[in-house]
Amino acid sequence: MAHNIRHKLTNKLTNAAHTVSNKSQAKVSGVMARLGFQAATDDEGLGFADFDDLDYDYRQGMQMDVLQREEEGRVDGEDELEGDSYYQRDGTGPRPSTLKTGGSLDQDKPKITSWEAGWNVTNAIQGMFVLGLPYAILHGGYLGLFLIIFAAVVCCYTGKILIACLYEDDEDGVKVRVRDTYVDIANACCAPRFPALGGHVVNVAQIIELVMTCILYVVVSGNLMYNSFPGFAFSQKAWSVVATAALLPCAFLKSLKAVSRFSLLCTLAHFVINVVVIAYCLSRAREWAWEKVKFYIDVKKFPISIGIIVFSYTSQIFLPSLEGNMQKPSEFHCMMDWTHISACVLKGLFALVAYLTWADATKEVITDNLPYTIRAVVNIFLVAKALLSYPLPFFAAVEVLEKSLFQDGGRGFFADCYGPSGQLKSWGLGLRVALVVFTLLMAVFVPHFALLMGLTGSLTGAGLCFLLPSLFHLKLQWRNLLWHHVFFDVAIFVIGGICAISGFIHSIEGLIEVYRYDIQD
């Protein structure tokens, strides 16, 4: 018996030594290959991927746990290996600790239920930008309605496969979460040759989308105020300046705690506004112009509508973080299903009844079609919601910029914008103010809500929601994919690429046209 125990201990310690040796060799080879001194072989690249920090922690934790339990003679079924429950992500065990958390365990952070996660997704995909969907029906007809359904199905699917890219199978075939963010997934796809390229691409796309979202909030605020008070000697650009003046305090934000408390109130207000618009449309049901809903499309303007619809479904940016903070990550798929089904139904009904009510007179922001007395009240609430929603994408964009350019663990391009005590430096505050002013300038010089929304959806929305998730899924999960998964991913990539290119080109052409002929919204 003693001989068997010594034999087992010797084998375990030998395996641990080989693990450390392989990890060190793989990391050195990978680093040298990145520096250009030698080309990493396939075996070295595989070793570099297999023996990362998370996997190393997992293996060492399992080995030390086995040794300890064998020494203590614990053989009962109730003493299950800690390594299994520690790294399984079925909601029954705590999440693994990583170097990225600074040594603190993630289980100390409060988790959210699937309903709370669904509420966050609903806020993202059923926000203010549904106001532009009736304008999409104007140029797309029934095909626009089909596209609302199609985009919901595709975005739900790509959200699921994006989360699948966070996981890898361990030696026992158990799904282990080895990545945390969209950037981690992108970097894993480009490793070992260009380990940081994918993250840079995703960061640029995220910054563009977040900043464009801020610009759209300023544009829609100026548009709504201008159409609510036409008697005032204020242009839409002047109202945008007034709105931005109210947004300057965002530059002093240290966290979103002060803003998040208004999130629920804003969402409820927006829900009430949607109900008011739909109720008004239903009151004019006898005048609905069904004959105006076309089966053909406006070839020149419909690609812009594609961007508008896609942009209204974008939520992939924060899905990895959201799933990682769920109490039961196994319920993520169900949560994605019901949120996107409800969004599809509500968006389709809202867009259809609004277009049937105003037909060819449908404007870029549908509330501008309401009678003056109703429009003024509704638009004021919408402006308040837009101004309170602005800090969310603004703060997210600031965080991405600060981490990638000024911090990044000491590898940033510029000096850290925070002092030793965590105080924001004056020039860092100046950069935040400059970002707020930049959103104002864009809103002043490009005050076209639908065209900007279509351009953003085509440029970054399609990339983050269609192209990159399908590409990453094929790259990271290729060995586990069935033929229909490959077909879906390739089809989404091709269709998404065509829609992105055509929508981007036609949005640019639309902007050129409105400036050439001085067309007003």
Left, alpha or beta for 288 (phi > 0: left; psi -120 to 50: alpha)?
Answer: beta
Coil vs helix vs strand at 179 = coil
Provide the pLDDT for residue 7: 57
Question: Within 13 Å and on the Cβ side, how many CA atoms surround 517?
Answer: 8
Provide the pLDDT for residue 199: 87
Which of 186, 200, 194 has its CA nearest to residue 34? 194
256 contacts 395 by C-beta, under 8 angstroms: yes
112-117's contacts with Cβ under 8 Å and 24+ in sequence apart are 112/322, 112/325, 112/326, 112/327, 113/326, 113/327, 113/328, 114/326, 114/327, 114/328, 114/331, 114/332, 114/334, 114/335, 117/322, 117/323, 117/325, 117/326, 117/332, 117/335
Place of tokens 């699917």: 157
Provide the pLDDT for residue 134: 92
Which of 219, 165, 159, 118 has its CA nearest to residue 456? 219
Architecture per CATH, domain 126-418+428-517, reads as Up-down Bundle (1.20)
Q: What are the per-10-residue average pLDDT scores of the chain (521 residues)?
A: 54 55 47 39 37 39 43 44 35 39 46 86 81 88 92 95 92 88 91 85 90 91 86 87 90 68 69 86 91 81 85 88 89 94 92 92 88 86 84 84 68 64 74 91 87 86 92 92 94 93 88 76 52
pTM confidence score:
0.71
Place of tokens 């390739």: 490
Provide the pLDDT for residue 380: 86
199 contacts 187 by C-beta, under 8 angstroms: yes
Provide the pLDDT for residue 166: 94
Q: Which stretch of DSSP H or E encloses residue 270?
A: helix 263-283
Provide the pLDDT for residue 340: 95
| Amino acid in position 437 | V
Q: Kindly tell me the burial class for residue 61, based on how many C-beta atoms sit within 10 Å of its own C-beta (0-12, 13-18, 19 or more).
A: middle
Which of 131, 244, 160, 204 has its CA nearest to residue 460? 204
Provide the pLDDT for residue 12: 55
Question: How far is residue 246's CA from residue 239's CA, in Å, rounded to a whole number?
Answer: 11
